[in-house]
Structure formats: structure tokens, C-alpha cells
Amino acid sequence: MAGTKAFFVMTLLLVISVVAPLSADEGTKKEEEGTIFTLWPLIDYRESPADKYSNLSLLGPLFKLQHQKEARDLAVRPLFYDTSDEEKTWHVTEYLYPLASSENSSDVSTFQFLQLYQNNTYRKSEEENKQKGTMFFPFYISGQSEKYGSYTSVFPFYGDIYERFWRDEYHYVMFPLYGRTVKRGTTTRNYLWPIFSTTSGEKEQGFQVWPLYGQSAKEGVYRKRFVLWPFYMQEESGLDTDNPTSKLYMIPFYAATDSPKSTAHYYLWPFFGHKTEADGKQEEWDYFWPFVRTIQGEKRTLNSYLPFYSRDERKESRKSWYMWPLVKHEEMDTEAFRQERTRLLYFLYSDNRESWPKDGTERRRKAFWPLFVYNRDTRGIKSLSLIAPVESILDRDGIERSWAPFWRLYQQRWDDKGDSAVSLLWNLYWHEKRGDSIAYEFFPVVSYRSEKRTADFKLLKGLARYRNDGGEKNLSFLWLPFGFHWGEAEGSPAVVAGMKAGSTP
């Protein structure tokens, strides 16, 4: 009981020592220097009025409230993370990421739950042109089509859907009993989907009894047929182009594709195959696909002997495997973007470099699962995080914001100017350097802060405190706001007078 009382008394004294009234001069200096108050792991508060920045953290990574100019971040991890920017009129909230999220901006308002339920409102220049859509996939879908108007689907009973899911129209009643789709003028009707269907359109017709037999054709465009799908399939397509293509599949014995531009034949598909371009610019051989493959041509060169070695070269990219899946190296080189990436065992280790030659920016990311993630962003700011069991595999902003702070035992950020910040165990120990200013703390043993001509050193959060304010020194004990003073600050009247008296005429 006595120990508990002593703890509360100590805590009270620590708080009093920080929030005790300051003199007018010291209060002004605090406003210029900013404020740092820590009571690990309960409270961590930092403020820099010059940068319009403040951050309050409670219980380590659990609670965060940060303001930086017009932007605000509020988090109760992992329940939600809310970020907004008044200047950009932008507001995003994530709930138990990736469970659900919402977004509000001048262009759109959205809400989604596991991508299964979605509610979207798209704003245009005029209020009457606002478009809305709601989806609880697949049971309820509604929206607005500029061409067809509003639509609603209540699966599996009845539905109309326009210009979504890769079709112009969907219509169904008591699915799978009856359904109809339209795409580019072709209408397909399904009865007891996918067994019975008919196809119709301009100079187009067909039917199928899947998987026994099916056929369809459009005059001058294509012809298709299958028997006992997928064992026998025959197709002629592109009849209205300069490259009509004929395909024949007798799985697994034989498959062939022939056109004026290329020819491919496969035996015991897909294991053995040979493909050639009619102009002779490319030739491909497959032996026991995918283990041995070769492609020789102007646009692509491939030599693959898996699992030992594989190299694939194209005009703007190169990929190489060594002892698959041990090492993979990828390169991309275009006028606007360059990338070089090396991976070991897929995600065990990854080193990714990206650059944009036109504006001269670049970034880099290295990760070694589950130990660390290193980043260098386009501004030249570098960061190192330990440990990294998830973000070293999945590079997602939501994981970075809502989950990663829980397991990050060590974090460090620094730039080329020498500014840096270090945090160990959610600021049990922290160290910051910006320009000539330095601050660090190992709670509650020691803390130090120096800025411009001021230095402040504390033991046990002020049990013993020494402060040097431009030559004016102060030593205090027991968290008291007063103590022993000596020396005079540079530029004070007494110092100036002394300098004049001792100067040479």
C-alpha cells in the first residue's frame, strides 16, 4: 500500500514539475522551442508551434492525435484510423483495416466492407447529376447508368444491372433459372445456368447444352464449337480482320493455333510445343512445360531451365530466376520509369529500387522478413523499422498506419542533412536531432534537450535538474520550480556593461 501511494505521489510531482506556471520569459522561450512531455507508457506529447505540429500518443501505439498544418490524424488502434486535410477537403477513415473504410472528398463519398458491401456517391459539377451506387455483393446491387438510368439487383430473385462486371446489361429472374446478358450487341440467354443457353445478335446465333455440345457463329466474324467441353474445341475468330485465327483443341493430345501471323502446335498439351511467327522474327519451343522453354526473337528472348535458371528479356524489361524460387531479379527501364528488384525466396528478402528520370526522384525499399524494413522515399528521408512480420511481405499503407506500430520495437528516421529521430519500445528511449537542436530521453532515468543557446538536463524527470540558458545557469532538486542560480545570460544589461567597461578606446 505504501508503495502504491509513493508511486502516485511521484507521478503527481512529475506532472507538477512539467505544468507548473512559467515566468513570462520562459513561457515565450517554450513557445519558440516547442514542448515535449512524456510519462511512459501513458503519455507522449510533442508540439512545435513553428512547424504547426503537435502529436499526442497515449498507451504507446494505442491512441494517436496528430496535427500538422491543415492535416489531422486520429487513431484508436487497431479499431480505426482517421485522417483528414481541410485544405484538400479530403477525409479517409479505416475501420479494423482491411475490414472497412470510408472516403469523402469533393469528387466522391464511398464506404466499403470487405469489398462485398459498397456505397458510392460520385459528385459532378451540378447537384442534379450526382450519381449513387450501393452493393452488398452478390445479394444487393444498385446504381445509376448514364445510358440506361437507375438499376437494382436483389440476388437471386430479380435483377437488372447496367455497365458493370464486363457487360453492358444483366437481367435475371430466380437465378439460375433464367438470365440474360448483352455485350456489344450480342445477347446471351441462360436457362438453368450454365447448362442451357442461346446466343443472338446481328447475323449471329448459337446455342449450347453444356458440357455436351455447343456452337455459335457470327457471319464474317467468328465460328465456335465444342464437344464434351473441354476435351474438343474448335474456333475461328478475327474473320473480319487481316489476321483470321483458327484454333483446335483435342485435350490432352493435341492443340493448334494457326493464323497468317503465327503458328503454334502442342502435343500432350501443354508439355511439348512449337510456335513460330510468320515473319520469322520469333520462335518458341516448349519441352515439359514449364520446365524447359526457349524463345528467340526481336521483341523477346527467353531461356528457361527451371528450377536451375531462367532469363526473360523484352524491350523494356528483364527477369531472371536462379535456383527457383531462391533468387529472382527484375529490371524495368523506360523513359519515364526505372525499377530494379531482387528477391530471395519470394518474400524472405527484397530490395526494390525505383526512379523517375524526368524529375530526378528515386526511392528504395529493403525488407528482410520478419526482422526489418528499410525505406528511402522520394524526398530522401530514410527509415528503419524492427521488427516487421507483416509489412515486409505486404507493403500497404493501412498496415503501416493501423497495425505496424504494435510490433515495431525500434524505429529510426534520418535524412541527408543530419536530422534524425530514434524510438525504442514506443519511446521508452528516444533521440531526436534537428539542425543544432538535440533531445533524448531514457524514461525515467535521464533526459536532455538543447536548442540554440539553451541546454536542459534532468535526472528522474527532475529529481535533479540543470539548465543553462545562454550562460544563465540553474540547478534545482525534488522537481521544484526554483533552485540555485548563477551566471548571466549573454546579451543581458550587466554583461553588455562589463564589455564596454573593459574595452579599448
Q: What DSSP designation does 499 have?
A: H
Residues 126-149 pLDDT 10s: 544 566 789 898 899 999 888 899
Say what the pLDDT of residue 491 is: 58
Residues 69-118 pLDDT 10s: 899 999 999 999 999 998 878 899 999 999 999 999 888 899 999 888 98
Say what the pLDDT of residue 106 is: 82
pTM, rounded to two decimals: 0.79
d(CA 73, CA 198): 55
Residue of 427, 416, 316, 410 lying closest to 371 (CA atoms): 410
Among 255-259, 306-310, 451-455, the least confident range: 451-455
Cell of 27: 513561457
d(CA 499, CA 489): 13
Q: What DSSP designation does 462 have?
A: G
Give first-to-last CA distance, the chain, whole Å: 71
Cβ–Cβ < 8 Å for 363, 354: yes
If you search the block for the grid coordinates 521488427, which residue do you land on?
Answer: 387
Q: What DSSP designation does 23 have?
A: P
Strand partners, 36: 46
Residue of 422, 381, 429, 384 lying closest to 404 (CA atoms): 384
Residues 217-250 pLDDT 10s: 999 999 999 999 999 999 999 999 999 999 999 9
